[in-house]
Every structure is written in structure tokens, then in C-alpha cells.
Amino acid sequence: MSKEENVNYAAMWTWAHFDPRRTLFLLRMSWRHWRAQRRHRRQQRRINGTIPSVLAISPTMRCNYNCQGCYSRGRPEDNELSTDELNALFSEAEDLGIHSVVLTGGEPLLRNDMLDLIAQHRRLLFFLITNGSLITPDIARHIARNGNLIPLVSIEGFASDTNERRQPGAHETALRAFGHLSKARAVFGFVATNTSANSSQLATDEFIDQIVAIGCAVGFFTEYVPCGPNSRPDWVLDEAARAAFRNRVLAFRRHKPIVLSQFPDDEYGKENRCSGAGRVSLHINSQGDIEPCPFVPVASENIRHGGLIAGLPVDLPACHSRTTRVASAPSLRLFSL
């Protein structure tokens, strides 16, 4: 991968080095990430199989918004994983050397147990995707105290784009959440879905400079994938728009003091292969089904019947786990591209 395509991690240092609290967070996360990588390599040798580095987990599919084109609409909202089941899942992820967990949904903060659960699992770095509507000053201070959580507030660009896709007032709500997080001195970022309708706005210096001034340390762009009810095929980027947006992201990485990731380009890498289905990441839905990714709701295994490792392609004789059943996952082998 060429130098200009790498994530500009120097931007994180630029963001951190004038603030001792930010510097401490960065150093702590770097240390924990290094230790997780060691556990990850050791466990992969032990089970003679593949363990993802990142888990995406939807603790709930319930949401207090009804955004256009959302992949999660229409998914089951009952039979959610319990607090104990999530706690066991996080513990198993730690033991396996998984270093990052992306909490999506649904709106994760609709669950009152999330922040306390996150605080119990210091060896994991959590990214929590939220619409920001439930972030109060108290919640922001709780997030800042956790020390292993980066909330990512969803925003679609400027006010008109955000309010049109999400709901009237959604942009102001997101800005208010950013303000609470900044005042609490939490580490936080943004996530935006780039579509044919808003890519030209997201790719401006004005937007990135605004988001940096707000205090965001990181940002994630995710290209729109039409799925679920009320999908918007007209939002899909054509090749010219996709290439133009990618070039702007690469330019931002060279000049802006923020760590930016763009999906699927950064995910696919130079091999042009999806990282889902257990290669690098997996998705666990709110009922415990082990899926290739949030956009592919297909599963043959469930963590309620053997834990996370039941869905990994492993060699049984070498495997060690606290779970009661271990099996290979034919669904993941089929979806490994």
C-alpha cells in the first residue's frame, strides 16, 4: 500500500500532544493494542485458525430515529442478548486477542447497560456509533471516564443533508452531543454515510475544518449500500464520484489534523478483498447470530450455542476456549471472498 494511502496516524499525535489527557489516552490505547496483537497471534497459533481483529456488534436494533435508507430497519428487535451474554462475549473477545469492538445497531445507548459493560473490559477499545440524541452532559462525563471508548456521532454533512436523511433537528442534536463530549474532554469522532446526494459536501475543506474545530479526533466515511426497506438506489455513487471522493480523503489525510478512515476502500486494501466474514471482522447481531458483516444478515451459528469461537474456522484438536461447544463455521467459509 502506497504511503499516501495509509491512515495518517501522525494526525492523532498532532491532535493529542498539546493535551496531557489526550496524550495519555493515545499511549494507553497503543499499549493495549500491542498487547492485544500478541494475544491474537498466540491464540491463532493455538487454535490453528483465523480470529478476527475487530468485532462489530449490534446490542440492539431498536432506534429512536427512522433514517432513510438505513440497513437496520426491519430487523428483529426482540430476544436481545442479555447483559450477561454481552459480558461473556466481551470477555471471550479479550481472551482471543480481539482489540476493537464497533457497537452499532440500532441506537446502542438505548441500552442502559452499555457504558458500564464497556468499563468492565479495559483490554478492548470500543467505537460506539450513535445519533447523539441520548448524549447528555452526564453521559458525556461517563464516556470520558471510561477511557476505552470513542463515541462516533452520525452526521451527514451540513444541516440540510443531516436533517433530510435523519429527521428535522438531527444536525443540531449531533452538534449538541459534540459539545457535551468536548466539554467533558472525551475522545470522540464522527461517522458519515457518503452518498450521491452529500459526497460533494462531505468532501469539502469547510466540512472537515468544521468537524476538526468541534474537537473530533477521528472520522469514518462509509459508502452507502442500498439494503433493507425504503432503500435508495439513486444514492449509490458512480465510479467517477467514488474516485473523486477517495482522492479528497487522501488529500485530507495529508493536511488535516484528524484520523480519517473510508470504507470500503480502506477495508478492501490492495488485495481488493472484503475484510468481513472472519478475515478481519465479524458482525454479531442483537440475537447473537454470527454474520459476515452488518450488511449481510446471513448466519448458521449463534454465540448462544458455543460462544464466539463457534463461528470461527478453527482446527478442533488445537482449540481451547471457555465455551462449551466448538465448531467450524461453514457460513463464514462460504462468505470468505
pTM: 0.84
Compute the distance between CA of residue 319 and CA of residue 189 in angstroms, rounded to an integer. 37
Q: How many domains does the chain have?
A: 1
Q: Which of 37-41, 64-68, 270-274 is the least confident region? A: 270-274
Q: Looking at residue 100, what DSSP letter applies? A: E
What's residue 34's pLDDT? 77
Q: Which of 74-78, 168-172, 219-223, 297-301 is the least confident region? A: 297-301
Query: HSE on the CB side for 171, CA within 13 Å?
Result: 12
What's residue 17's pLDDT? 65
pLDDT digits (tens, 9 = 90+) for 214-260: 999 999 999 998 877 778 899 999 999 999 999 999 999 888 888 89
Range of the domain at 250: 3-335
**Does 176 have pLDDT greater than 80?**
yes
Residue 76: name the closest of 227, 285, 308 by CA: 285
Strands (E), the chain: 54-57, 100-103, 125-130, 149-154, 189-194, 218-223, 259-263, 281-284, 290-291
Contact residues for 138 (Cβ-Cβ < 8 A; gap 6+)? none
| Domain harbouring 72, CATH code | 3.20.20.70
Compute the distance between CA of residue 259 and CA of residue 252 in angstroms, rounded to an integer. 9
pLDDT digits (tens, 9 = 90+) for 252-276: 988 888 889 888 877 766 666 665 5
Compute the distance between CA of residue 116 and CA of residue 276 in angstroms, rounded to an integer. 28
The three-state DSSP-derived secondary structure of 141-199 is HHHHHHCCEEEEEECCCCHHHHHHHCCCCHHHHHHHHHHHHHHCCCCCEEEEEECCCCH
Compute the distance between CA of residue 72 and CA of residue 129 in angstroms, rounded to an integer. 13
C-alpha cell at 77: 428487535
**Does 173 have pLDDT greater than 60?**
yes
With H, G, I as helix, E, B as strand and everything else as coil, classify residue 284: strand
